[in-house]
């Protein structure tokens, strides 16, 4: 799609010029355009729609921009193209029009064009007798937007590796795993826990459970569709453009189980409204809905309030951070999977223990560590030792200065976590619902900041330092006796320090 203007032909006649200087000028102009869009539209809008927008080339007065997905292309063309053009014109002479394409799908840069980024070629699988190059594989057809086979319902493909059998269960994910299996095996009567909502940080197993549910439901002969938020939004926008919205809605509502990942990325009033209608239709019809996001429904501020309320009305399960025992189990599982195809690959107990202790962020980093150890073993032929492991996973190990934590941040987080207000924590109220979070906040202030007890007391409504000391000692004693409280306080610490 192009938006035409009326400026003189060619960038070379203006600030852009020709050659390296021209490319430098255009690059600088494009960076100014992005800075202005960020300032004018706000950080949230910019991060959602423009952070991955890149300038590929400028040729003949046409600036060619690229994005990674077709949905982003459609959305920018429909809502922001005129604004981007106007901003670009004000920063660079000779820009007549804009074109937006998907990276890997755009034509090569023209000779003489001021190319800013290299086009990313679309990967092609090698030809084989059993799989002629004239026929695209299923993932390729999905990526290109081709029609999915009958019964597949156009959903994103399920990863064959992500099943319940390959999921490693620990204390932090046991409830989520049990709920997922119960929903997947349910084959009669109204849907259970509807909707089932998982939330967790990156790499803690949300997507693995969603794919596991998808495989189990599909194997039972029931109709299931797995969608990412990006694919849901693209499908809806494309249905509107092709005047097939009714067919899109009927297809979604004729299934047994809808699985939607990364729901926090759903944006746009009409898209959210359709998502809400789909939720209501499926749940009211007794069909199962499973959703995953990076935070609880109540914290999805970008979503419509009615949608948030509907999501919160089912079973909401948080998947906690990985403790050391679970990390060790995940690591062992990955090592065994790799040894199935590389029998000579050996990692000793000391190395495995070091990796499980050193990598604390998430399961994906553990998988990355296994891949690096395998690469070292196969490329050098040398055994994997502690020294080589330290070198291989150095960039995966969290080794940065701890974040400075403010008492105000502690008060806000604890208040939000325990569903009270910060003013309640600072007040003289002595109800149990307020006293416990107040004492936890005082304890965290003592542990995570360098403030003295008198200073902490002043920041908690002018209290005496003995009150703070009493709170600290009480929480210290409680976390030594109550495992659930200990886990809760540890989670709060990590949230404040990350």
Query: Which pLDDT value is given to residue 356?
Result: 85
- pTM, whole model, 2 decimals? 0.52
pLDDT at residue 407 greater than cutoff 70: yes
Token pair 């292309």 in the structure block, residue: 73
- Give the whole-angstrom CA distance, residue 457 versus residue 38: 40
Q: What gap in Å lies between CA 458 and CA 447, rounded to an integer? A: 17
For residue 469, the model assigns a pLDDT of 93
Average pLDDT over residues 145-166: 64
The predicted pLDDT at position 410 comes to 93
Higher-confidence position of 444 and 252: 444
**pLDDT over 50 (residue 355):** yes
How confident is the model at residue 403, as a pLDDT? Answer: 64
DSSP β-bridge partners for residue 260: 227, 291
Phi, psi of 237 (to 5 degrees): -60, -45
Phi then psi dihedrals of residue 139, to 5 deg = -60, -40
DSSP type of residue 452: -
Confidence band for 426, pLDDT divided at 50, 70 and 90 = very high
For residue 178, the model assigns a pLDDT of 93
Main-chain phi, psi angles of 302, to 5 degrees: -75, -20
Q: pLDDT band at 56, cuts 50/70/90? A: confident
Helix 19-41 / helix 81-91 crossing angle, nearest 10 deg: 130
Mean pLDDT of the chain: 79
CA dist 233 and 226 (Å) reads: 13
* Residue 284: its H or E element: helix 269-284
| Overall average pLDDT of the 462-469 stretch | 92
d(CA 474, CA 303): 39
Residue 167 and residue 208 in contact, taking contact as beta carbons nearer than 8 Å:
yes
Give 186's DSSP letter. Answer: -
**Cα distance between residue 302 and residue 281, in whole Å:** 22
pLDDT bin (cut points 50, 70, 90) of residue 398 is: low
What phi and psi values does residue 6 have, to the nearest 5 degrees? -135, 30
Q: Which residue has the tokens 């107040």?
A: 438
Four-point Cα dihedral 35, 38, 41, 44, nearest 10: 170
Token pair in block for residue 470: 């009493």
Radius of gyration of the chain (CA): 27
Q: What percent of the chain has pLDDT over 70?
A: 82
Q: Does 108 have pLDDT greater than 50? A: no
- Nearest alpha-carbon partner for 55 in 14, 116, 122: 116
239-279 pLDDT, tens digit per residue, is 777 777 777 777 777 788 899 998 888 877 888 888 888 88
pLDDT (tens digit, 9 = 90+) per residue, 68-95?
A: 777 778 778 877 888 898 888 888 888 8
d(CA 220, CA 187): 8
């Amino acid at each position: 799609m192009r938006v035409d203007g009326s400026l003189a032909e060619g960038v070379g006649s203006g600030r852009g010029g020709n050659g390296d200087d021209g490319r430098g000028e255009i690059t600088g102009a494009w960076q100014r355009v992005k800075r202005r869009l960020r300032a004018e539209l706000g950080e949230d809008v910019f991060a959602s729609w423009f952070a991955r927008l890149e300038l590929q080339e400028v040729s003949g007065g046409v600036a060619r921009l690229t994005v990674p997905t077709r949905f982003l292309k459609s959305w920018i063309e429909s809502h922001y193209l005129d604004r981007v053009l106007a901003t670009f014109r004000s920063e660079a002479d000779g820009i007549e029009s804009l074109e937006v394409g998907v990276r890997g799908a755009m034509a090569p840069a023209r000779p003489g064009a001021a190319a800013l980024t290299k086009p990313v070629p679309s990967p092609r699988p090698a030809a084989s007798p059993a799989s002629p190059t004239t026929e695209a594989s299923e993932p390729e057809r999905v990526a290109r937007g081709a029609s999915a086979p009958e019964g597949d319902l156009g959903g994103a493909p399920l990863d064959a590796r992500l099943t319940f059998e390959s999921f490693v269960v620990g204390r932090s994910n046991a409830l989520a795993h049990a709920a997922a299996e119960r929903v997947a095996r349910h084959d009669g009567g109204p849907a259970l826990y509807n909707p089932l909502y998982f939330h967790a940080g990156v790499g803690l197993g949300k997507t693995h459970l969603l794919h596991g549910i998808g495989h189990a439901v599909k194997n039972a002969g029931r109709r299931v569709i797995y969608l990412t938020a990006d694919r849901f939004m693209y499908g809806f926008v494309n249905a509107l453009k092709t005047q097939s919205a009714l067919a899109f809605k009927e297809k979604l509502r004729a299934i047994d189980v809808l699985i939607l990942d990364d729901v926090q990325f759903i944006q746009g009033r009409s898209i959210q409204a359709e998502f809400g209608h789909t939720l209501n239709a499926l749940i009211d019809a007794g069909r199962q809905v499973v959703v995953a996001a990076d935070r609880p429904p109540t914290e999805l501020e970008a979503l419509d309030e009615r949608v948030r309320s509907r999501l919160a009305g089912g079973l909401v399960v948080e998947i906690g951070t990985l403790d050391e025992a679970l990390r060790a189990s995940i690591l062992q599982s990955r090592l065994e999977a790799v040894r199935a195809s590389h029998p000579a690959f050996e990692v000793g107990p000391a190395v495995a223990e070091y990796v499980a202790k050193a990598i604390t962020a998430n399961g994906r980093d553990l998988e990355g560590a296994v891949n690096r150890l395998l690469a070292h073993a196969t490329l050098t032929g040398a055994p994997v030792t502690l020294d080589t492991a330290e070198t291989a996973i150095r960039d995966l190990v969290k080794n940065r200065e701890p974040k400075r934590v403010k008492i105000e941040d502690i008060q806000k987080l604890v208040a939000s976590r325990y569903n009270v207000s910060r003013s309640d924590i600072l007040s003289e109220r002595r109800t149990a619902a307020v006293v416990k979070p107040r004492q936890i906040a005082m304890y965290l202030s003592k542990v995570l900041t360098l403030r003295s007890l008198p200073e902490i007391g002043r920041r908690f409504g002018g209290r005496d330092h003995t009150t703070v000391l009493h709170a600290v000692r009480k929480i210290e004693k409680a976390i030594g006796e109550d495992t659930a409280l200990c886990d809760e306080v540890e989670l709060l610490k990590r949230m404040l320090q990350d």
